Amino acid sequence: MGNIFASRTGIIIVGGAIGIMATLLQYLGNPPNMGICVACFERDIAGALGLHRAAIVQYIRPEIIGFVLGAFIISLFVGEHRPRGGSSPLIRFFLGIFAMVGALVFLGCPWRTLLRIAGGDLNAVVGLVGLAMGIFGGVLFLKNGYSLGRSQPQKPWSGYVFPAFMLGLFLLLLFGVTFSEGGPIFFSASGPGSMHAPLWISVAAGLIVGVIAQRSRFCTMGAFRDVMLIRDFHLISGVAALLAAAFAMNIMLGQFKLGFEGQPVAHTDHLWNFMGMSLAGLAFVLGGGCPGRQLFLSGEGDLDAGIFALGMIFGAAFSHNFAMASSPKGAAAFGPAGVVIGLVFCLVLGFVMREKSTA
Amino acid sequence: MKEGINMATKKIDARGLACPQPVVLASRAIREGVDALEVIVDNEVSKENLLRLAKKYNMRADVKEENQDIVIQIAK
């Protein structure tokens, strides 16, 4: 069939490669247990653009740019770049917002959940159970006919907009433009936002992940969903490989520390770790992909996935501006309220967005 | 698996639907006892997923490309 990455071996290689690259990125300067975190990195981008003013989490993360551009280039190359869109874009925007609200209450996307576990952070096990719970809820909706409707083919040029946006971000990063005195682009002087691997290494890692993830259709949410929905263990074997590879690398690089307390960029509020990831998991299922997958899809021309990703960036700004994003001290004042509102939104969607008979 | 009667080929138009919906529709049809079905999709991911589904149920699968569409025929 010409696509070796679509095989079982392929997805395992891809998961393993992501685990190795993520832990190496940590070793080379990215924040601890955050070699690659799509939610955190989109949050940093929102901060760099001045959409929120949390001074410690502002940086234009080149990994995110690489993900989109890697997927974009390879999809053009193999003829899978297919601009499409129009499947409930506004709904997807809000799903992206609430997915981010949930992820930032926990402090991580599904990728970082795995990386945190691989680094010995037991709080992330609670988050993972929450994620699985949220995905399970979404699967029940899928079984009952949940659908955001069909997408339509779009004009060829529309597929270039999101990659061009990423290219623009890259130029801003490269030239470190300042738009006004004391204004954006902001780069953190301390905190997680100030920690990063050398730029070109991050770009290269991002591009490689973008390429192999596009070919393999790697998706963390999809992994759990497929097991629950159709007893398909294809994607989850890639997730297991990511976890195993990152764990082995952390042991070798001395980055492993087991426990609940004192974990980097994490808190021990179990209830909200669980609830935050439940919301995120549910929103990912309803939106059709984990944050990483949404970026790869955006790269290959899926305009709806692009809207979801933009929703996540906006959601990060809301989360920090309205005191919903957690800190290492625990859940923030309005985090729980944000999660509850998000859950209500997702549950209503699950019940009302149904296709009658698609056959 | 053979509780259903052997109906004519069931056709499912899954164009424009994102994964996993094409697979959900196909597997529902298979579980309802449909022996032969034809699923039209418009992307490689759905094709790969449907081929994996067919393999799981030990069914034959043929792929035809028609213009932009991919037609996958699955049968016992």
pLDDT digits (tens, 9 = 90+) for A122-163: 999 999 999 999 999 999 999 999 999 999 999 999 999 999
Q: Which two tokens stand for residue B8?
A: 């004519």
Q: pLDDT digit string (tens) for A199-252?
A: 999 999 999 999 999 999 999 999 999 999 989 999 999 999 999 999 999 999
Q: Which two tokens stand for residue A357?
A: 């008979």
Q: Does B53 contact A3 at a Cβ distance shorter than 8 Å?
A: no
Q: Which residue's entry shows tokens 């990831």?
A: A277
The answer, for A81 touching chain B at a CB cutoff of 8 Å, is no
Query: Secondary structure of chain B: what % helix, strand, coil (to 5)?
Result: 30, 30, 35
Mean per-residue pLDDT pooled into runs of 10, chain A (359 residues):
83 98 98 98 98 97 98 97 97 98 98 98 98 98 95 96 98 94 95 98 98 97 95 95 98 98 98 98 97 98 98 98 98 98 98 74
Provide the ipTM: 0.86
Q: Does A80 contact B29 at a Cβ distance shorter than 8 Å?
A: no
The answer, for A143 touching chain B at a CB cutoff of 8 Å, is yes
A85 phi and psi, to 5 degrees? 180, -175
Closest Cα of chain B to A263: distance in Å? 36
The answer to whether the beta carbons of residues A305 and A99 sit under 8 Å apart is no
CB pairs under 8 A between A and B: 59
Q: Which residues of B touch A234 (CB under 8 A)?
A: 52
Q: Closest partner residue to B15 among A147, A150, A226, by Cβ?
A: A150
Q: Which residues of A touch B18 (CB under 8 A)?
A: 87, 148, 151, 288, 304
Nearest CA-CA partner of A124 in A113, A140, A112, A135: A113
Nearest CA-CA partner of A222 in A124, A276, A294: A294
Nearest CA-CA partner of B26 in A230, A118, A203: A230
Would you state the pLDDT for residue A359? 42
Q: Which two tokens stand for residue A130?
A: 């929450």
Nearest CA-CA partner of A104 in A192, A200, A210, A205: A192
Question: pLDDT class for B3, splitting at 50, 70, 90?
Answer: very low
Nearest CA-CA partner of A193 in A88, A12, A316: A316
Query: Secondary structure of chain A: what % helix, strand, coil (to 5)?
Result: 65, 5, 30
Would you state the pLDDT for residue A355? 80
Residues A325/A329/A334/A335 CA torsion (nearest 10 deg): 50
